[in-house]
Amino acid sequence: NAGVTQTPKFQVLKTGQSMTLQCAQDMNHNSMYWYRQDPGMGLRLIYYSASEGTTDKGEVPNGYNVSRLNKREFSLRLESAAPSQTSVYFCASSSRGRNQPQHFGDGTRLSIL
């Protein structure tokens, strides 16, 4: 029962370094999402991919890029990390169709020094 798998689980970066967060799902879902979670802010959508080959900006896309590598994998890249990007990042996926619930990975805890 892997579901949504995120790697790494923890990472510490220096300001200006780059990093790619990986996400893979084995549920044959069409849609995939990247969120960040900050204290008191809930979950905020960074980018999403409704299907393989498409990506769209969410609420807080600045400073991030994404790649939908194939149906299973959706990566999030920080080109030049900033302390404001210290957060817990969650990947989620959902099946095709309106109003399908999202299923989440266990998160990547990222600290930018």
Partner 1 sequence: GQQLNQSPQSMFIQEGEDVSMNCTSSSIFNTWLWYKQDPGEGPVLLIALYKAGELTSNGRLTAQFGITRKDSFLNISASIPSDVGIYFCAGQWDDKIIFGKGTRLHILP
We find the least distance from the C-beta atom of residue 91 to partner 1, in angstroms, to be 8
For residue 26, count other CB atoms closer than 10 A to its CB: 12
**Contact set with partner 1 (CB under 8 A):** 4, 31, 40-43, 45, 48, 50, 59, 90, 92, 98-99, 101-107
CB 19 within 8 A of CB 81: yes
Q: How far apart are the first and last CA of the chain?
A: 35
We find the least distance from the C-beta atom of residue 44 to partner 1, in angstroms, to be 8
CA-to-CA distance for 21 and 75, rounded, in angstroms? 6
We find the least distance from the C-beta atom of residue 42 to partner 1, in angstroms, to be 4
79 SS3 class: coil
Q: Which is nearer to partner 1, 62 or 99 (CB)?
A: 99
Q: Which is nearer to partner 1, 48 or 64 (CB)?
A: 48
